[in-house]
Chain A
């Protein structure tokens, strides 16, 4: 076993998760590839969404994979960073919008 939880080589082993549960793994990968196929959204739009979500969930593997993928979809660095800012804004916003609940509660129990 390696000394670190995250190994860049492990990303390539993602398809091997079928080893422990073939049926569920295959179902997931079928679903995954269909999700990312060109549809009502372009493959590039989907890749940028994935890049943003990868940052929101802070998945090092997904950031690695979707940085390459967005570049391979012809995106530029500004577009990529704007996508990450969208994720950051939603995360920040979702923290801050809960402050309404804090304010409500504070007002409820305060004179």
Chain B
């Protein structure tokens, strides 16, 4: 894959969430003719669409990343400078202190590139909460200062969730950049060495699979078997679980869909594959998503689309109000079909 730059640095019109949503829903006759996600929710008796019990607090530490993957829904990259300040992290900690959530899910960008990452992880674990780090693997080799992250993770019993789109180089490098597969394998070995993914250590290492293009993921269980067998055989690597997730038709993956001429067929596929059994479990129902600048969203996707949370009194951490947020209506649009297609898709893999 040739070097890619973020949509922002290329001045693409797709940086605007509203433009993306217009593309998805209105760009062509075929897209205009598709059923709306709101109608599907109605037919599944899920209207108005409200959250359930809050269980996961997902915090996006910023858009800076050492990679520039083609499908990135964050439009992250080395050229992005937006990262969470220590003051905003402190706001997160203050809010978390009084929240019954047990899991704090750190994402990005590459969350580890935030200079206050380690301090933040320590403070969260001090509150007795479990930290998930969405680690792109190659960051562990990106600079000397990241080499001891596996030991740091182990010390704080951080659950590491890492993207690896395939157990072979081809699909992985075409999606994530040249050389990413080889460096990801080295990083997985570093994690295995400190006990991650190994039986009996309870240091959890999970992998995330996403399709290498405009098609749906295979069944999670069968992919997990393949990945376990191949990674063990080829590289002696072990991990715990594999999550199969669907590519969301937003940001850079939307750009890919548009430029490759796959947008209409992909949206039709997502809509046709709407699974009423997956809809009640989509992640916005038990998760809140926080942006680098402290704003509150229904999920990381809505965050990237700048779809403000439907709760005017609590849109920023500085005015966080769980009671108000629990009453909100979740903001949905056509991109939501990405969460309900086939077996369903979330940060924790399939939903059914």
Q: Give residues in A with beta carbon < 8 Å to B.
A: 42-44, 68, 71-74, 76-77
* Contacting pair A74 B213 (CB below 8 A): no
Cross-chain pairs A/B with CB under 8 angstroms, 8 sampled: A44-B222, A71-B212, A74-B217, A74-B219, A74-B222, A74-B223, A76-B170, A77-B170
Give A39 to B169 CA distance when docked, in angstroms: 31
* Contacting pair B215 A72 (CB below 8 A): yes
CB distance from B350 to the nearest CB of A (A): 13
Give A72 to B216 CA distance when docked, in angstroms: 6
CB distance from B52 to the nearest CB of A (A): 30
A-contact bits for B162-183, CB 8 A (1 contact / 0 none): 0000101011000000000000
Assess whether B211 is interfacial by the CB under 8 Å rule.
yes
Q: Which residues of B contact A43 (CB under 8 A)?
A: 219
Residue of B nearest to A75 (CB): B218
Residue of B nearest to A68 (CB): B215
Residue of A nearest to B223 (CB): A74
CB distance from B57 to the nearest CB of A (A): 32
Q: Which residues of A contact B306 (CB under 8 A)?
A: none
Chain A binding surface SS class? helix
* Contacting pair B226 A74 (CB below 8 A): yes
* Contacting pair B218 A76 (CB below 8 A): no
* Contacting pair B166 A76 (CB below 8 A): yes
Q: Which residues of B contact A73 (CB under 8 A)?
A: 218-219, 222
Residue of A nearest to B226 (CB): A74
Give A44 to B213 CA distance when docked, in angstroms: 19
Q: Give residues in B with beta carbon < 8 Å to A.
A: 166, 168, 170-171, 211-213, 215-219, 222-223, 226
* Contacting pair A74 B215 (CB below 8 A): no
* Contacting pair A76 B168 (CB below 8 A): yes
Give A43 to B226 CA distance when docked, in angstroms: 14
Interface centre among A43, A44, A71, A77 (most CB of B within 10 A): A71
* Contacting pair A71 B211 (CB below 8 A): yes
What are the 8 closest A-B residue pairs judged by CB atoms, nearest first? A74-B218, A74-B223, A73-B218, A71-B215, A72-B216, A72-B215, A68-B215, A72-B218
CB distance from B129 to the nearest CB of A (A): 34
Give A74 to B244 CA distance when docked, in angstroms: 10
CB distance from B172 to the nearest CB of A (A): 11
Give A49 to B166 CA distance when docked, in angstroms: 22
CB distance from A72 to the nearest CB of B (A): 5
Q: Which residues of A contact B219 (CB under 8 A)?
A: 43, 73-74
* Contacting pair B213 A71 (CB below 8 A): yes
CB distance from B166 to the nearest CB of A (A): 7
Give A44 to B218 CA distance when docked, in angstroms: 9
Give A32 to B32 CA distance when docked, in angstroms: 32
* Contacting pair B217 A72 (CB below 8 A): yes
Q: Which residues of B contact A42 (CB under 8 A)?
A: 222
CB distance from B342 to the nearest CB of A (A): 8
CB distance from B73 to the nearest CB of A (A): 20
CB distance from B322 to the nearest CB of A (A): 39
Give A72 to B219 CA distance when docked, in angstroms: 8
Q: Which residues of A contact B211 (CB under 8 A)?
A: 71-72
Q: Which residues of B contact A77 (CB under 8 A)?
A: 170
Residue of B nearest to A71 (CB): B215
User: In the complex, given contacts A76-B168, A76-B171, A77-B170, what are 12 additional A-B residue pairs having Cβ atoms less than 8 angstroms apart?
Assistant: A44-B218, A44-B222, A68-B215, A71-B211, A71-B212, A71-B213, A72-B211, A73-B222, A74-B218, A74-B222, A76-B166, A76-B170
Q: Which residues of A contact B215 (CB under 8 A)?
A: 68, 71-72
CB distance from A44 to the nearest CB of B (A): 7
Give A44 to B216 CA distance when docked, in angstroms: 14
